[in-house]
Structure formats: C-alpha cells, structure tokens
Structure 1
Amino acid sequence: MASTSGVTRLIVHPNDYPWGKVGKDSMAGRLTKNASEPGFQFKPEQPYAELWMGTHPTNPASLFTSPSTLLSKHLSSNPSLLGSSGHKFNPPFTGAKGSGTEDQTEGHVPFLFKVLTCKQALPLQIHPNKELAKKLHEEDPEKYPDVNHKPEIAVCLSPSFLGFASFRPYDQIVVFFKNTPEINNLSSEIQSSIDKFIKSPNGDNLRDVWEQFLKLSDNENVVKEYTERVLKEGVDAFREFKGEGFSEREKENLVKAVRSSREYYHGDGGLFSTLFFLNLVELKKDEGIYVGADGPHAWLEGEIVELMAISDNVLNVGFTPDSDKDDPSLVSKTVTCKSKTPQELKLDSKVFSKSQQGNTKVYNVPFEEFSILKISDDDQLKSFDGPAIAIVLSGEWEISEEKAEEGSCWFVGAGNASSWKNVGKGSGENGDPQVWVAFYDAQAEREEVGEK
C-alpha cells in the first residue's frame, strides 16, 4: 500500500459549508482535481470551504492506491509510522454510538490539516478545552464526536487574509464602548455590564459583558442601525478612535468587516461581539497566527492553511442563526479572557534545521501536537520522529521520486527522510511552487517548532 520510500499518496475530500468561496474561486475547490479520488465530480456552483487532510472520522483520508483503506486503518496496522506521537497522544475517540467514530478509534495522527477558503465570516466560535470536550461528548456524542481540545494556527495563502482572533487589549474595548452611540439603545443590563468594565477593565468583567453581548439575536435593530451608520460614514465613523489598534488601515478593515456583515449577516449580534471585543487581524501572504484552546475567533475573508489538534468540536455564538447558536453562558465560562495584540498572536518563522538545501521554512508553533513548514524549492528533509502530511499547493513536484501534481496530498511516515524536487520550475494555478507540510517531531529544535 505504501511506497518503499515511506511516502504514501492520499485521497482527501472538501467540505461545502456555505461560507466557502464558490467553484474555481475557491483554492480548496481547485485542489480537489488531484486531492480527491479520480473521477471526483467538481461542481462549479458549489461552495468549497475546506479541504481536510488527516484521520479525523468526520472526513478521513484514505490511501490513493487503495481507496477503501482509511489512513487510520493503515496506521493501526503499521504503528511505527506514527513514531513517538503514537505513544505521546491517545486518540480522542471513544467509539460512542452516534459519534461517527465507532470503528475508527485507533491509528490517528495528532493533528488535523486543512486548506480553508472563505468569502464571508465563519461562525464566531471557540473550541472547548479537554475537560469540557469530555463532558460535551458524553452528553451529545453526535454533536461533539471527540474528547480533544483544539488549539490552532492559520497561515495566509492569499495576498491578504482577515480574521477576528482573541480579545483585544482592554483599553481598545473601552474605546469602542465610549465611542459607539448605539450602545445607548441596548438593554440596561448590558449597559450596566459595560459601565462595570469601563470602571474596572479585567478578565472577570470582560467575561460578564461579553456574555451579555453574545445573547443578542441574529436580527437586532441596534446592530442594523450601527451598520448603516458605519457604511454611510466610512472610516470617519471611527474618527474618535485613536492609538494602537486604530491606524487608518485598521479602520478601513473595520469598515470592511461591517460591510461583509451587512451583506451576509445583517443584524446578527455577532458583529458587536467580534468588532468591539476581538482583534481584527490582517495577515499578508505567508504570515501566520495562532489561537489557543478556548480562544474566540471568526475568520472573515481570504485563504489559509489551517492546522489544529485533531478535533471537530466547536461552540458557535455568532454569525449564525439563533437556532444554531450554543449557550452563551457555557461559552463565556469556557473562553480565555486574556487580551493579546495581533503581534503577540503572530508566528515567527525561520529556515528549518532539517532542511539540507535551505528551501524550507518552519513556523514556531506554541502547541505540542503539531508544527508546520513550507517548501519553496528543491530540498531534502531529515526524518521526523512523528508523522507528516503534505499538500502540493502549487507547481509540479517529485516527492521521494513519486510524481506529485498540484493538489496531491501525501503521508510521510515517522523515521523517513524525504526529498522534494520542484520539476515544474514555474508558477502553478495557485501561485509560486510550494508544498505545505504538517508534522509532529519531538526531536526538532525547540526554538523552531515550540516546546514538545
């Protein structure tokens, strides 16, 4: 089933969530030609939101040479391919009835890798920590299929990417409260929480006031009034917003976020509980950020590679119909109320020490289960002591002497060195030649991949 080089081609599939870009406008969609099985039916009018690459039973990879064989089954039969990760991380699947994991409890890589593309905001969400994930799974295994946490990172693939991530510095939240006249039309209960936070900006008071905002519905007149004013005034709507976090570029992005909300989620209270509270982060190509477990976020516009601990658990509280929103009280109790600046969220990168020709860049990720790197030209990589999954994002390559077309996805087993040859030597449909690799390696340099 696997080649003698330890490199195995995979079949992976997209998800068609409505927030994804449509047809060939979607990078995830364009990649399906070679990422999915031969004969995959591409639908030009369908949104393609994510391309999943991993062993999670919600949308698992299988072997290209044996499409009926799941990667997890292959790894269960060949546990040495997981290396140290097989001993370090217990698969987070109980096989509970209704979870969709009944026959897929073993043989898992410790991460889930995605290409994600969005034309509108994803639901405002957090991912439960391990303690809450276990509780939610026991109560509703169909909705919460695993017992894992879900810290994650995102690296920009498009020229730019916008997303809400983590709480703003408290003083910036106060600026929103003091300079948004529509707040006077909110309930007395919310205004009381706002006043309390302004007088004493701390995590406990932030938790209280954010919970009140999360309770706003998806059809709030006050949100609509605010939206129309901002779109009428443009950046001038933020004329009193001064200091860090409120440059002209950042104000333009605030207007862009309001405009997007007006088009897709008019009146949804998620606009207030993101715009007022969370950093609106702009990434340029190859820039990355992280969101820790329990960190609130809502990706807004653009294309990224996304990498997270293996989990499909999520709590949604905005940019989605009221009927689909989770309990605001539960979410507010779960969320980490620490503030961060966009710069604190961004990932450092450097040439990878296991790169023989210096054409591989690795990102320092502060999570245990995963790391990520980008290969931009010919290179050889020393072996990892854990598994890796690679996606040829653009160009034509040879991966350990295997032909690797644009969109093809590959598994590299632990203990296997690998070679990467750029044979196309030109830009592909998705830009300059590039391969992205998610991996686990406890033996890599700590300053490169973070503490393991």
Structure 2
Amino acid sequence: MDRLSNTVRPYAWGSLTAIPELLGVEPTGEPQAEMWLGAHPGAPSHLDRGRGPEPLSAVIDAAPERELGPAAVEKFGPRLPFLLKILAAGAPLSLQVHPDLEQAEEGYADEERRGVPLDAPHRNYKDANHKPELICALTPFDGLCGFRPPHESAALLDALDVGSLKPYVDLLRARPEEAALREVLTAILTAAPAEIAATVDAAAAACERLGGDHAPYAAIARDYPGDPGVLAAMLLNFVTLQPGQALFLGAGVPHAYLHGLGVEIMANSDNVLRCGLTPKHIDVPELLRVVRFESGDPGVLRPEAGTDGEEVYATPIDEFRLSRYVLAADASPRPQLTADTPQILLCTAGTVTAGELTLRPGQSVFVPAHEKTEISGTGTLFRATVVA
C-alpha cells in the first residue's frame, strides 16, 4: 500500500475555496477544480517506494499483473481503467455528452484516418474508449442530467414570454418526444449566433425576474451570457444532490455539473462532445449522432448496504466500482479490504487508518491487487476498484 501525492487541476470553473477547505490548507487565490487520483497520463498520482517519487502509471507499466492483478489486465489491458477525482465546481462546467464504446471506437478510427491531430481544438475523440462516470456529492451539489419530458420544457420556456422562443415551445408540444428534443436542440445549436444570443439574453432577463424554477438558468446565464447552452440547459432535468447521493452518467446522456464538491469516478477516457456553456468547439452533427433523445428521471443513487459496513454505488459498468465506509471509533470488527483488482482509498472526512497509514481529508492510498488492508478510525473513506 502506498500513499499517493495527487495533482490539482486549475480549470477556470473551479472553486477558489472548496478543495483547500477539504485539505485544510490556505486557498491560493486561483481556481482549484479537480484533484486527480490515478494513472491518467495527463496528471498521474505519484508514490514513493524508496526510490523517490514515481508516477503511478510508471509503476503499473513496470509490473501490470502484480499491481492490477491478472483478471483486470486480461479484461482491460495493462492500465488502471478508472480515474478518481475530487471535483469542486464554482461555476458550470460545459454541457456535454459521452459516446458509448462502439461510437468512441468508430469516431477515434475516423479521426485517425483523416489525420486530425490529437491536440487539434476540433478533435472530438482523444482515445477509443467510452467515458461513463459517477458523481457523489460531498456537499449539496447542483447539476443537469438527461432530458425532461418535452411538455415540461415547453412550460418552462413558455413562461418566459419571449417571442423568439415560441417556435421551440410549439415543437416541444406538437412533435413526438424524440423528434421534438432532436429538432429543438438542433435549432438552438445551429441558429445564427447574433439571433440566438439575443434570445438567450431575453430569456436570462426573464429568468432573473421570475426566479423559482427559473433561477438556476439565470445563474448559468450570468456565467455564460448569450451562450445557446443556456437554452439547451432548460431542456434538461435540474437536480440537487444531498451529501452521499450520486448520479451515474451513461453514454448519450447530456449533463453538466453546476456547483458543489463531490467525488467523481470515470472510465479512463477524455472523450467529450460539447453542446453548450463553453467557448470550445461544438461538432453539431457528431453530437446529434451520440445524444440519446429520450426523457427520463435523472436517477439519483443512494448507496446500497454491502458487507462489513461497505456502502456501494451500483452502476452497470465494470471499469470502476465506487463504495464508501462511514466509520465509527468503536466499530467492531474492523473492515478488512481485499480485492483481486487494484484499489484507491480516499478519505473525505475525519481521520481514518488504512493499514499503517493515517489518512485525513483529501489524502489517499493505492492498494495493489490481492493486498489486504484493515481500516479503522472515525470518518468517511471512499473505495475505488475494478469489477473483473
């Protein structure tokens, strides 16, 4: 078992204070958006086994079966298949969607065949993998997840009394669900920039005036004035997670994180198709190929009781499995963690002992496959591993 040293990414949407408060350090004055835990080449965690700090990715590359276990290597290859994060949103992230595995493989192969550079701003597929993800709230956490029923979106837009929104309202009320959602999102994203910006500004002013259910979109518009994603956001379910609740974001589901602190875990991929709330490239045809135009409940997850006090966030994929332990000082017997696959343990509250290491909020360890670890203390510990 190895203590990890992790990188904090300073994306512009990050909170100035949430991650420093969790870590018990002074803010830097710069946004601190995500702390990455894992072996992603963009910012791998580091550990020290007596030779000085080494990237976790290099340690795994040197002996993948020893670190990951034969079952995980056979199923996912010689790499850690997930990335764990602490995510702190101080402003909305881009409205986005992720491809399924087949779409990612096709899209990546196509862009490779056409010679699109990996670092090109218009490149959609950085790799050939899908990117399902799970966000678990540590504080009240606001987000958008999946389409609302079209009649609900129509009512929300109609109440703004903005004339240029009437065609969208009519489509949402008159067309079958899939066609209505596809046609309205397409119209929003392909409208003339000056015209859609004026509509967004009028809608934002009405949202400010009305408040209530419209208040979240007024806040989004303050961060992204004139952005068509403000209108696209009104097609989606708004949800507030309470601490301990989670959302699973599967392929094709449009979503955005708006505000709050959470633990996020995802398959190790960088494939994102954006549909608003961003100055970055939006590939409308490819986006429309990937989005699932169906409404539904956002599906707030609550942890399911497992053995020895483990609480599991059930998801339908195998690249990651996230669970947590809420430990009390007098817990007996102490949980014994072992797996045929690698684990990352992350403390988010209190003081937890894992093996011989003491963890405080924001601190973490990497546990190689087949290594047994006893945990104790008073606090909350998240456990990330693999289903193999």
Answer yes or no: same fold by TM over 0.5.
yes
Q: Matches of 1:278 and 1:28 in 2, distance apart?
A: 31
Is the Cα–Cα contact under 8 Å of residues 58 and 312 in structure 1 kept in the other structure?
no
Listed as ranges, the matches of 1:225-236 within 5 Å are: 225-235=202-212
1:11–1:67 CA contact under 8 A, matched in 2: no
Cα offset, 1:29, TM superposition: 6.9
- Equivalent AA in structure 1 for residue 315 of structure 2: V
| Partner of residue 438, structure 1 | 384
* SS at structure 2 position matched to 1:166: strand
Please give the alpha-carbon distance, in whole angstroms, between the structure 2 residues aligned to 1:82 and 1:319.
Answer: 38
Q: Which residue of 2 aligns with 1:268?
A: 227
**Where does residue 188 of structure 2 map in the other structure?**
213
In the alignment, the residues of structure 2 paired with residue 29 and residue 132 of structure 1 have an alpha-carbon distance, to the nearest angstrom, of: 39
Contact 1:223 1:267 in 2 (8 A): yes
**Separation in structure 1 between the aligned mates of residue 385 and residue 302 of structure 2, nearest angstrom:** 17
Q: What is the letter of the counterpart of residue 147 of structure 1?
A: A
2:303 corresponds to:
349
**Equivalent pair of 2:133/2:264 in contact (CA under 8 Å):** yes
Q: 1:307 to 1:340 in 2, by over 3 A?
A: same
One-letter code aligned to 1:352 = G
Asked whether the equivalents of residues 14 and 32 of structure 1 are also in contact (C-alpha less than 8 Å), the reply is no
Residues 1:367 and 2:348 are matched in the alignment: no
CA distance, structure 1, for counterparts of residue 101 and residue 42 of structure 2: 19
Say whether the 8 Å CA contact 1:169–1:341 is kept in structure 2.
Answer: no
The DSSP-based 3-state class of the residue aligned with 1:88 is helix
Closer/same/farther in 2, CA of residues 124 and 205 from structure 1, 3 Å limit: same
Structure 2 SS opposite 1:48: coil
Which residues of 2 match residues 242-321 of structure 1 at below 5 A? 251=213, 254-255=214-215, 257-275=216-234, 277-321=235-279
- Decide whether the 8 Å contact of 2:145 with 2:256 is kept in 1: yes
Q: Distance in 1 between matches of 2:296 and 2:117?
A: 33
Q: Does structure 1 residue 125 correspond to structure 2 residue 112?
A: no
Q: 2:46 maps to what in 1?
A: 62
- What are the ranges of 5 or more consecutive residues in structure 1 without an aligned counterpart? 1-6, 34-41, 91-106, 236-250, 426-432, 443-452
- Match of 1:48? 32
- The CA distance in 2 between the partners of 1:284 and 1:18, in whole Å, is 25
Name the SS for the 1:339 alignment partner. coil
Shift of 1:349: 1.7
Tell me the TM-score normalized by structure 2: 0.87
For the residue of structure 2 that corresponds to 1:385, the secondary structure is: coil
- Of 413, 417, 424 in structure 1, the residue corresponding to residue 372 of structure 2 is 417
CA distance in 1, matches of 2:302, 2:250: 16
Q: State the AA in 1 paired with 2:178.
A: G
1:20/1:49 contact within 8 Å kept: yes
| Cα distance change on mapping 1:180 and 1:62 into 2, 3 Å | same
Identity of aligned residues (%): 29
Q: In the TM superposition, what is the alpha-carbon distance from 1:280 to its structure 2 partner? A: 0.4
Q: 1:420 to 1:222 in 2, by over 3 A?
A: same
Aligned to 2:6: 12
Answer whether contact 2:20 2:27 (CA < 8 A) is retained.
no
Residue identity opposite 2:10 in structure 1: D
Aligned to 1:74: 59
* Alpha-carbon distance in structure 2 between the residues aligned to 1:406 and 1:120: 23
- Determine the C-alpha separation between the residues in 1 that align with 2:359 and 2:161: 56
**2:19 match:** 27
Deviation of the 1:118 alpha carbon: 0.8
TM-score normalised by the chain length of structure 1: 0.76
The one of 321, 324, 331 equivalent to 2:287 is 331
Report the aligned-residue RMSD.
Answer: 2.3
Letter in 2 for 1:116: L
Tell me by how many angstroms 1:156 deviates: 0.6
Q: Deviations over 1:407-428 (max 9, x none)?
A: 2221112222211121xx4xxx
Structure 2 unpaired stretches of 5+: none
Question: Is 391-400 or 140-149 further displaced after alignment?
Answer: 140-149
Contact 2:92 2:259 in 1 (8 A): yes
Distance 1:32 1:314 in 2: 32
Per the alignment, residue 399 of structure 1 pairs with 354
Alignment CA distance shift 1:13-1:418 (3 Å): same
Distance 1:56 1:337 in 2: 31
The count of aligned residue pairs is 368
Contact preservation (8 Å) 2:96, 2:256? yes
Partner of 1:385: 340
- Pair 1:88 & 2:47 matched: no
User: What per-residue deviation string (whole Å, max 9, x for no partner) do you get for residues 83-127 of structure 1?
Assistant: 22211113xxxxxxxxxxxxxxxx421111111011111011112
Assess, with a 3 A threshold, how the Cα gap between structure 1 residues 43 and 284 changes in structure 2: closer, same or farther: closer
Shift of 1:211: 1.6
Distance in 1 between residues matched to 2:189 and 2:146, nearest whole Å: 15
